[in-house]
Structure 1
Amino acid sequence: MSDHILLVDDEQEMRKLLRVCLAPYSYVLDEASNGEEALDKIMAGSYDLILLDIMMPEVDGFELLKTLRDHLDNQIPVILLTALGDTERVVEGLKLGADDYMVKPFEPKERGGQQNG
């Protein structure tokens, strides 16, 4: 059985890039374009990992992470995807319960994507 990943990002191009990067690994990938949609999917499904953008309209990634850790499944690993690479924001995300973070923009091979040679 493949790992089930929820990708939450309001930017369609970022979701497309990550979909392409993850395709060779046969993950089951669900997508949400905002925090509310993600919350609905989390409540209805079962995920092994959540890739979560911080800067989204309405319900941002920090709010969704706090809800997840305080009220829902506390065990799902969460990796934050953020254009906010400053230390304060990264520490805030980790204190809220994120397991790791990736600063955008990033190269797919930075985090174990396909490499040539």
Structure 2
Amino acid sequence: MANILVVDDEMGIRELLSEILGDEGHAITLAENAQQARDARAAGAPDLVLLDIWMPDTDGVTLLKEWQRDGLLTMPVIMMSGHATIDTAVEATRIGALNFLEKPIALQKLLKAVQQGLTRAQEVVRAPVIAPRPMLTPQPEESPLTASAMFSAQTPQSAIAPRMGGLPNGEGHGFNLSFDLPLREARDAFERMYFEHHLGREGGSMTRVAEKTGLERTHLYRKLKQLGVEPGKLAKKNG
């Protein structure tokens, strides 16, 4: 049995994780904000922390930085988010997060990540966790993978084959996706390639991309934010 701290501002998420992990025999402490998480950590280091990134008072990345600065990052931390960008996930792993889970979290992914975290905790015997940095192959012209595909141990890098080619001029359409990917991740990967293709062809113009894709601008902005696509960067790259 392990002591696991779950930090999330959504009551439904806290209750669900508590029920699942409790059924696995773990003792669960719940915190709905960063201050409650600080108090729980001050009472003693848990064996593992599941930490939400977006919270109303202090976000999870800031709290992670605090623990690292104060020498309190002595336990594995798994970050959770439903709409984090790849930059946020990279920053969290550099600070010391062990893993990243994208919401909604699949049961098997959750249990596997928790088991990996607890195994890491036993290996380091409460020593400060220094998470391995993600293996990024220098490919400056490629579009980013989803945060879950890049940082979740459950989705190997090889599952996503070389993606959209020729983004600057929009001529290339060759890409391959593994049919072994979960539907959500395969769909997100395709949609990212689709929108980056059109943004590249239209020089980052949201108006023209909205016309091309048949979406309202508001819906388009929301979709790009969800996928972690930044039109401004694409416009500069292709300018």
The TM-score bracket by the shorter chain reads 0.7 to 0.9
Whether the 8 Å contact between 2:80 and 2:101 is mirrored in structure 1 is yes
CA–CA distance in structure 2, aligned partners of residues 48 and 5 of structure 1? 6
Task: State the alpha-carbon separation in 1 of the partners of residues 17 and 31 from structure 2.
Answer: 13
- Give the superposition deviation at 1:68: 0.8
Q: Which has the higher strand share?
A: 1
Aligned to 2:78: 79
Structure 1: runs of 5+ lacking an equivalent:
none
Distance in 2, Cα, partners of 1:50 & 1:112: 13
Q: Which has the larger radius of gyration?
A: 2
Unpaired runs of 5+ residues, structure 2, are: 113-239
**Shift in Å, 1:46:** 2.6
Number of aligned residue pairs: 112
State, as a whole percentage, how many aligned pairs show the same letter: 34
Q: Which residue of 1 aligns with 2:62?
A: 63
Alignment deviations for residues 44-87 of structure 1 (CA, whole Å, 9 cap, x no partner): 12310010000001111011100111103232100001113432
Q: Which residue of 2 aligns with 1:8?
A: 7
The aligned residue for residue 35 of structure 2 is 36
**Displacement over 4 Å in runs of 4+:** none
TM-score (norm 2): 0.45
Q: Does 1:90 align with 2:89?
A: yes
For the Cα contact (< 8 Å) 2:6–2:29, is it kept in 1? yes
TM-score (norm 1): 0.88
Higher helix fraction: Structure 1 or Structure 2?
A: 2
Structure 1 window deviating more from structure 2 (22-31 vs 79-88): it is 79-88
Work out which structure has the larger RCO, using CA pairs closer than 8 Å and 6 or more positions apart in sequence. 1
CA distance in 2, matches of 1:112, 1:66: 25
Q: Is the 8 A contact 2:78 2:100 kept in 1?
A: yes
Offset of 1:16 from its aligned partner? 1.1
Two-structure CA RMSD over aligned residues (Å): 1.4
Please name the residue that 1:26 is paired with.
25
Q: What is aligned with 1:100? A: 99
2:73 aligned partner, one-letter code: N
Give the Å deviation of 1:111: 3.1
